Amino acid sequence: MTEQQIELGIEDRAPELVPLNAIFATDFVQILVPVTTANTMAEVAAAVAHHVEGKRVRALPYPKVVFHNGRKLPAEMTVAEAGIAPLDHIAVEYDTPEGQS
Amino acid sequence: MALLKREEWQGFVRDVDWTPTYVDDEAIYPEWHSGTGKVPREAWLNWEESYKVTYPEYVATQREKESSAYAVKAALQRSNNFDILDEGWKSATKMHFGGVALVEYAAVLGELKMARFGLNAAWRNMATFGQLDEMRHAQITTFFGHEFIAKDPQYDWTQKTFHTNDWVPLSARNLFDGMMTAPNVVDLAIELPFTFETGFTNLQFVALSADALESGDVNFANMISSIQTDEARHSQQGGPTMEILVEHDPVRAQWIIDKSFWGSARIFAALTGPAMDYYTPLEHRKQSYREFMEEWVIDQFIHTIEDYGLKKPWFWDEFMQGLDTWHHGLHMGLWFWRPTLWWRPKAGVSKDEREWLQEKYPNWETVYGDKWDVMIDQVNANNVEATLPETLPWLCSTCHLPACNATQSRDGKWRVRSWQLDYDGKRYHFCTNACRQIFWKDRDNVNHETLIDRFLAGQIQPMDVGGVLAYMGMTPEVMGDDPDYAAWTRDYVGRTATGLAVPAGKAS
């Protein structure tokens, strides 16, 4: 009997490393930020903010959101679900009452 | 016996070409080195240099220049001239020594290539003098920088820089390999003597020498002027080559000049920009980097290319807008990633300095002031750690400099935008639209891997800041730091600061 090979969907595989080109709000430079396919957008936003928020860009009391290909992604969505691939560009912005910061 | 008059023998000695009969012309001057392209072979017979020199004259003049540069150096060695120099100026000289000494040696190879494969004997003759010039520049720059190692180990990078994988020499190697090592001699003559030397360094060296004198560094001023007089001569290989190329292949002439102007402008923004607008003490600043570029580089460049019937490069608007942003972003990047530098970058943002910056660059406070304010507040909160890097800046696949160029959108917001490209199964990121366009047009040329490419490919281990610094050849006694934090933060002590990151382990 031959064993059938089934390729698991990315959501069922162990988390894989996804290095990103990221910019935080009004920061002056794009940075390298590694995340994994299992990270949620809230975690991705926090990983990018770690390098910039309160260090070069003053922290604001608003939630942070991830933009990918012009799309604003929900906080609970994972990198795998969002289809974010290694070397993709993302922008993290404050979700201010009057729109992005 | 009466000697011949100069004009009677000059033409004979400057052109010693003959017609080969035992081998084909192509065997001596292969296309991939000589690069005639659409230019007919015989057109090169008209190549004529505007400044003629013979070997005895050359040797006599060079000997004089050398003696005078070394005499001044010997005299100043006995003085305390070095000890009284400002730390910012010293940083500008460390950056210069490290960034330039071995590029002069790469230029020796470029000149030798023209001396061997140039399609006119007078050109080859001129390039022979050119390579002797560049050899002298490599030596004098290495020697003058070497003298200070005993006083400050950062000067060791005069010779060391280009032997490392630090991101600054990676960027410079990529540019200069493209300009001197890779091209055929026709393209090389347009890229190096015509664009980089005539357009940028020759004039910059005049200004740099004046800045050195203003800062009290007589020795450096003397070295730079000694080099500049050679540049003024050998850079003239560009003009006659351009005249012939533009007549037969103006499209190629325009592309080569556009590409090399852009590359030169990018590296100038990274090195000359911060030195002029941040490192030079306020009282010694004669003009801003933008004013310098407008007066010395842009006006002259436009006149020159128009004289040859060429147009402004297609990226002109993007370049002009970048004069207000590129070097400010790059300065902030150099400062924030200061452990990767072999000099001590001054932040240069005290109240007085910021007033000067705002006057010279009316958008400076809007685009950069807010970021510096956060870093100032962190220093004043005794949290310098928050101003040190924990990851890499993204580096552009064309110029290898950080992607840090903010542009203003229609709604007035300044943002760093994404310029990406998928090619041959790989994703690339660029700092500007023109860097992306140049990469695309030149995609089959040699492109070095950026530090980011190397990091992600696992070439740098361990994959952390310590691993990166070790990969760059950086050692603790050389690693750059701000020379005087208080100098630019004391004006702001005591003000209320909100929205600061709190050091790990401390409650907010």
What are B434's two structure tokens?
Answer: 């023109």
CA gap B270, B327 in Å, rounded: 6
Beta carbons within 10 angstroms of residue B199's beta carbon: 26
A31 touches chain B (CB under 8 A): yes
- Predicted confidence at residue A99, as pLDDT, reads 64
Q: What percent of chain B shows pLDDT beyond 90?
A: 79
Q: Which string of b and e fits B430-462 if b means at least 16 CB within 10 Å?
A: bbbebbbbbbeeeeeeebbbbbbbbbbeeebee
Q: Rounded mean pLDDT of B373-382?
A: 98
Min CA distance, A34 vs chain B (Å)? 9
* Contact yes or no for B371 and A56 at CB 8 A: yes
Residue B33 amino acid letter:
H
Residue B506 amino acid letter:
K
* Contact yes or no for B392 and A31 at CB 8 A: yes
Mean pLDDT rounded to a whole number for chain B: 93
Min CA distance, A47 vs chain B (Å)? 11
Burial class of residue B248 in the structure, from the number of CB atoms within 10 Å of its CB (0-12 exposed, 13-18 middle, 19+ buried): middle
| Residue B508 in domain | no
Give the fold, CATH level 3, of A13-100. Ubiquitin-like (UB roll) (3.10.20)
- Predicted confidence at residue B174, as pLDDT, reads 94
Its ipTM equals: 0.94
* Contact yes or no for A54 and B386 at CB 8 A: yes
For residue A100, is pLDDT > 60? Answer: no
* Contact yes or no for B429 and A51 at CB 8 A: no
DSSP B393: B
- Predicted confidence at residue A4, as pLDDT, reads 67
For residue A66, is pLDDT > 90? Answer: yes
The boundaries of the domain holding residue B416 are 53-492
B412 touches chain A (CB under 8 A): no
Min CA distance, B396 vs chain A (Å)? 10
Report the chain B residue with the minimal C-alpha distance to residue A88.
Answer: B427
pLDDT band at residue B73, thresholds of 50, 70 and 90?
confident
pLDDT band at residue B503, thresholds of 50, 70 and 90?
confident
Q: Rounded mean pLDDT of B28-51?
A: 95
Q: What percent of chain B shows pLDDT beyond 70?
A: 99
CA gap B203, B319 in Å, rounded: 19
What are B9's two structure tokens?
Answer: 């023998």
Min CA distance, B499 vs chain A (Å)? 4
Mean pLDDT rounded to a whole number for chain A: 92
A and B: number of Cβ contacts within 8 A? 97
- Predicted confidence at residue B337, as pLDDT, reads 98
Report the chain B residue with the minimal C-alpha distance to residue A56.
Answer: B371
B500 touches chain A (CB under 8 A): yes
| Residue B502 in domain | no
Q: Rounded mean pLDDT of B439-450?
A: 86
For residue B81, is pLDDT > 80? Answer: yes
DSSP B84: T
CA gap B318, B367 in Å, rounded: 17
Count up the domains in chain B and report the number. Answer: 1
* Contact yes or no for A27 and B370 at CB 8 A: no
Report the relative pairing of strands A64-68 and A71-73 from DSSP bridges: antiparallel
| Residue B218 in domain | yes
State pTM to two decimals: 0.95
For residue B22, is pLDDT > 90? Answer: yes
What phi and psi values does residue B175 have, to the nearest 5 degrees? -65, -50
A13 touches chain B (CB under 8 A): no
Report the chain A residue with the minimal C-alpha distance to residue B499.
Answer: A59
Q: Rounded mean pLDDT of B41-66?
A: 92
Per-domain residue ranges for chain A? Answer: 13-100
* Contact yes or no for A31 and B501 at CB 8 A: no
Min CA distance, A6 vs chain B (Å)? 25
- Predicted confidence at residue B1, as pLDDT, reads 64
Residue to substitute from A17, A18, A23, A29, interface B, most B β-carbons within 10 A = A29
Q: Which string of b and e fits B496-506 if b means at least 16 CB within 10 Å?
A: ebeebbeeeee
- Predicted confidence at residue B234, as pLDDT, reads 83
Task: Tell me which of B32-41, B202-211, B462-471 is least confident.
Answer: B202-211
For residue B318, is pLDDT > 60? Answer: yes
Q: pLDDT per residue over B171-195, tens digit each?
A: 999 999 999 999 999 999 999 999 9
pLDDT band at residue B12, thresholds of 50, 70 and 90?
confident
Q: Rounded mean pLDDT of B149-160?
A: 96
Give the contacts of B77 (CB within 8 A, at least 6 positions apart): B147
* Contact yes or no for B375 and A89 at CB 8 A: no
List the CATH number of the domain containing B374.
Answer: 1.10.620.20
Q: pLDDT per residue over B89-129, tens digit each?
A: 999 999 999 999 999 999 999 999 999 999 999 999 999 99
Report the chain B residue with the minimal C-alpha distance to residue A22.
Answer: B394
